[in-house]
Amino acid sequence: MAERRRHREIPSESRASEHLANERTFLAWVRTTIALISLGFVLARLGPWLTEIGTNAPHLITKAWPVGIGLVVFGALLTLLAAWRYDAVNRAIEAGLVKTDRALVWSVTIAITLVSGVLTVYIALTPAK
C-alpha cells in the first residue's frame, strides 16, 4: 500500500500564483470577520437605541448585548487565526511544500458549531417577555 504524501511540492514557476491564492483566502477570512464584528457591534448597540426611542423591549436588550459582544470577540479571534494561517502557508510556499491543515478546518468548524449551539439554547431558554 502506498504511503500517503503529507506535502505537495510546488514548482518555483507557480509560487507566485500560490502566494496570490493565499492572499485571496486571507482576504476572504477578513471579510467574514468584518461581517461578524459589524453584526456584533450592531447587536451590542441595539439595546440602548431601543431604550432611547421608547421601545419597551427589555428582553431584547438583555439578549442582544451578550450576543453582540460574543460576535465581536469571536470575529477578533478569527482574524488572529486567519493571520496565523496566512503566515504559515506563506512560509510553506516559500519552502516549496504545502500541506493542508485538516485540524484547523475541524477546529474552526467545531468552535462555530459550539457557539451556535450555545446561542441557540440561550435564546430558547430565555423567556421572551
Q: Is the pLDDT of residue 8 over 90?
A: no
52-98 pLDDT, tens digit per residue, is 666 555 655 666 778 888 889 989 999 999 999 999 988 888 888 77
21-49 pLDDT, tens digit per residue, is 889 999 999 999 999 999 888 888 876 66
Q: What is the pLDDT of residue 26?
A: 92
Q: What is the pLDDT of residue 1?
A: 43
36-54: string of b/e by CB count within 10 Å (b at 16+)? Answer: bbeebeebbebbeebeeee
Q: What is the pLDDT of residue 29?
A: 92
Instruction: Give mean pLDDT, residues 104-109.
Output: 86
Give the DSSP letter string of 3-69: PPPS-EE--GGGHHHHHHHHHHHHHHHHHHHHHHHHHHHHHHHHHHHHHHTT---HHHHHHHHHHHH
- Structural contact between residues 68 and 44, judged by C-beta atoms closer than 8 angstroms: yes
